């Protein structure tokens, strides 16, 4: 029997071409932003995929609204480092 522990929202980022040239100017603001989101307990997990040279990342949020707010305010999105994003509902079935 499948027992859903809770609905989460997963954000996928795909980086823009040439993104690495822009990262140094905005990485500190980006890190501060996701740390603040984590401390506010809206962001559960966040990080880059390491098996893709194209640059992509994902985050897991408690609500769709939190994920959408994150995208709207993230310095990487605002400064063109992120080319595309996708937010998907995810049913967490294994939780601590």
> 57-76: per-residue pLDDT in tens?
999 999 999 999 999 999 99
pTM over 0.75: yes
The first and second tokens of residue 30, run together, are: 């980006």
CA distances from 46 to 1, 8, 12, 26 (A): 30, 13, 10, 17
User: So what CATH class is 15-92?
Assistant: alpha beta
Residue 93 confidence class, pLDDT cut points 50, 70, 90: confident
Domain residue ranges in the chain: 15-92
Of 11, 18, 19, the closest CA to residue 37 belongs to 11
Q: State residue 55's pLDDT score.
A: 83
């Amino acid at each position: 029997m499948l027992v859903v522990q809770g609905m989460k929202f997963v954000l996928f980022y795909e980086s823009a071409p040439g993104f690495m040239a822009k990262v140094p100017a905005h990485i500190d603001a980006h890190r501060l932003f996701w740390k603040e989101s984590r401390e506010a307990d809206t962001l559960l997990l966040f990080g880059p995929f390491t098996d893709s040279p194209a640059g992509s990342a994902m985050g897991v949020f408690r609500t769709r609204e939190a994920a959408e707010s994150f995208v709207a305010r993230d310095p990487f999105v605002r400064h063109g480092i992120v080319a595309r994003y996708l937010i998907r509902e995810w049913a967490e079935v294994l939780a601590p």
